Homo-oligomer: A and B are copies of this chain.
Amino acid sequence: MRIDAYLQQSPVCEINRAFRRIDQDLTRLLLPTGLHFVEALVISSILFEEPGTVTPSLLADTFATTRGNISHCIASLEAKGLLSRQVDAEDARVFHLRLKPAGRKCAMQVVRTLDRLQRTFEKRIAPAELRGAIRTIRAVEELCAAGQSS
Q: Give A contacts to B, CB under 8 Å.
A: 1-7, 10-23, 25-26, 28-29, 37, 41, 44-45, 48-49, 54, 58-59, 62-65, 114, 116-118, 120-121, 124-125, 129-130, 132-134, 136-141, 143-148
Q: Can you report 16 residue pairs joining A to B where beta carbons are below 8 Å apart?
A: A1-B49, A3-B49, A6-B48, A12-B26, A12-B114, A14-B138, A15-B19, A19-B19, A21-B144, A21-B145, A22-B140, A22-B144, A116-B147, A125-B140, A129-B136, A133-B133
Contacting pair B114 A143 (CB below 8 A): no
Complex interface: chain B residues within 8 A of A117 (CB): 12, 143-144, 147
Copies of this chain present: 2
Contacting pair A44 B138 (CB below 8 A): no
Closest to A17 in B: B64
Contact of A62 among B4, B20, B114 (CB under 8 A): B4
A17 to B59: give the CA distance in the assembly, Å: 13
Contacting pair A10 B62 (CB below 8 A): no
